[in-house]
Structure 1
Amino acid sequence: MRPSIWFLASMAGSCLAQGDLVGLLSSQTDLSTLLELVGLVDGLAETLSAASNITIFAPTNEAFAKVPRDEPEGAAIENRNETIAIAALLANHVFKGVYPSDVITNVPTFAQTLLNSSYVTATQPFSNITSGAYNGLVKNGDDVCVLSGEETISTVTQADIKLGEGITIHKIDTVLSFGPPLQLFTYRAGYRAMNAALEAADLGFDVGLSGPDQKGLNISDFTIFIPTDAAFDSIGSVLESANLETLQEVLKFHIIPNNVIFSPSLGNVTVPSLQGDNLTFTVLPDGSAWVNNAKITFPNSILFNCVAHVIDTVLAPGEFDRSSLKPSASAAERLSFPSASSVAVLPFTSVAFEGDTMTYTSTPHLLQTIAAVATSRPKVNGTSSTPPLATYTGFAVSLSLDTSATMVMAVAIGVAALLV
């Protein structure tokens, strides 16, 4: 049984039941590649079932053609016989809920897709988010954009194509990317100290550091705060003298388990960390977001099993009094370890996937300037922001998916942990 294939087949077939997706794609000459890929999923035509309230982001032929073939998305397109990879790629373009273009604002909405943890294979971690990987939706001037992994921005070129009662389709100019493992994300310039610290700490679980063939992917659905290299450098003297237990406690304080929290949901609340002490969030009238005394400088990086927020200081376990926050102070003046000083070389060495070149272009301007929070929002409300026009309610027939007690419990824990 290949659950991801049947899952996607049911998804695509459900669209046909409401309005003939294949017929619509056949009528659009710029969607012929998408039509071909959908047709490669075994049993697609035979598994028609009714879906309710989904949004499909349909890459054009040009979008598929420009994907580098050495990336996971490009490999799925190039290797037409890699059915699971194709299924994962397409599932990442199907959002739960109806999102017409007129509900998207300049504060990003992060919506879940049909790409769930059943797509993780021995060679490629497509997603390890239990109930569906996230992508973002945001207004950029007059354009509607989709934010996905690897800092990918896709622009809607034709919006609001209706198919049946509950299907909305938007054409996009760029294929959505899978979220990378945490190791790949933290190997880029500016974040490598966190990469090395996580490797050195040996936390007892895999947070995405050891490569896609690692069998210990036993943590998912979490939020992590990543101090910059400059933040680690500023407390180098503390790190030099820290024992393993201290390092583990500090790093666990940067993780929120069982909850994927994007910045538009943040407010003035406290949330328990994996270490046990509470993290204190603050949203200021200027739109800045803070965790304890650290400013979130780059929010909402979509990874394959979590969301990451970059911060400008290393957090120290312990309770934090929000009234002591000094937002006008520099990062150096807000150190959680006030007696710390920098050192010539940190006591860590970073690691990487063997053979990976780790080349990254500069961060797109939109991601550097996008609103992190809605300033009128009073408190955290879980994982997302603007609700869809219509809520995804699943499929009319049972799907051949892994619904083991473990998966059900993980979903239940995530729901119970929503911040309200």
Structure 2
Amino acid sequence: MNVALISTLALLFLLSVPIAVSIGLASITGIHFFSHLPLQVVAQKMVGGLDSFPLLAVPFFILAGQLMSHGGVSQRLVNFAISLIGHRQGGLASACILTCMIFAAISGSSVATTFAVGAILIPAMAKNGYPLPVAAAIQASSAELGVIIPPSVPMILYAISTENSVRQMFIAGIGPGLLIAIALLVMVQIWCRLKGYGLHDKPVTTSVWAAFLKAFWALLLPVIVIGGIYGGVFTPTEAAAVSAVYAFFIGVFVYKELSFRDLPMVFKSAVLTTSTIMLIIAAASLFSFLIGVSGIAATVGDWTRDNFNHKWSFLLFVNGLLFLVGMFIETSAAILILAPILAPIAVSYGVDPIHFGIIIIVNLAMGMITPPLGVNLFAAASVANIRVMAMFKPLLVPVCTLIAALAFITYLPIISLWLRDLSL
């Protein structure tokens, strides 16, 4: 059954069958033709995979991100970021990274971050002399912070699939998220000076205090969510519900840019996104069960221990594997398929499972900006109205920066774990 599962899944991927359908069909094929399990297992495991209280956080965070995206938050965050850093050469590019970092703590989605921030800053950068592919590349790479800085849907999926704490994953993501944001800011400043980008960025006309007051209610949301989780006031699932209610309140009653007529469109978008993710989770739950039954996990574990004598060489191998996987497989599906296999092996090498989860998520996040299936590339290209291939060359600089940051995160566990350990 091992060969049937993997070969069927690979064939369906090559045929561009949707991720969830590919995983489901490969699992059903393995059960029907190569095992003695009844087909009732399909329904049992798929439903069982969704029967999880922490999973309720996923639709709530998605809804909160949609409400904030349509509620006037993006422009206020952009103005605030520009007031902080827009006065120097490359200020707009730096403001793009800073805005993405803040918006990431609201939306939990890199694609939502790309559209919400990119719709404002990509045209602004192009108008001020940045080559359009460069502006799109900066936006796409910055938006990956959407899945690294909590709240993050992939963090929830990793925690559930490996039976770890969502709260600990959220807290552990803060350090790596800040490191990546700082690395991108330094990279942009050096890049702009070497290439002469951003020389025509307009001087800041709004004071930091005035921009802060206008963005105050938006900036308060990540404080409420992360502070509430860190302080033990509420669980991540409860925090997701709080964030959705708060996003609705400020969009409708404070900023007044979200009308009741807009709500059906917002809810529809949130439902479609949630349904896609939930279908992937259900199919991956069945696939993970078959991986355990077929012995693939044990085989991979034995092979790994035979070929890697130390955890550092194992982590190097995992990073290379995940970098390649991220190019071809959607992040959520990759986590749900690979995490249950790789996490126990990592633990056997003495790697903290929370630290390993951060490594997986940061690595797969790079897959969002690497061809051929980088979702952020297509989102940024759509906003910039350019071909995806035009972004390949300028993407080399941010990708190398992210690889360097990943190396620090991988081999310095304290970056991920210091804040988590303080909260225990």
Higher helix share: 2
Calculate the TM-score normalised by the size of structure 1.
0.27
Structure having the higher strand fraction is 1
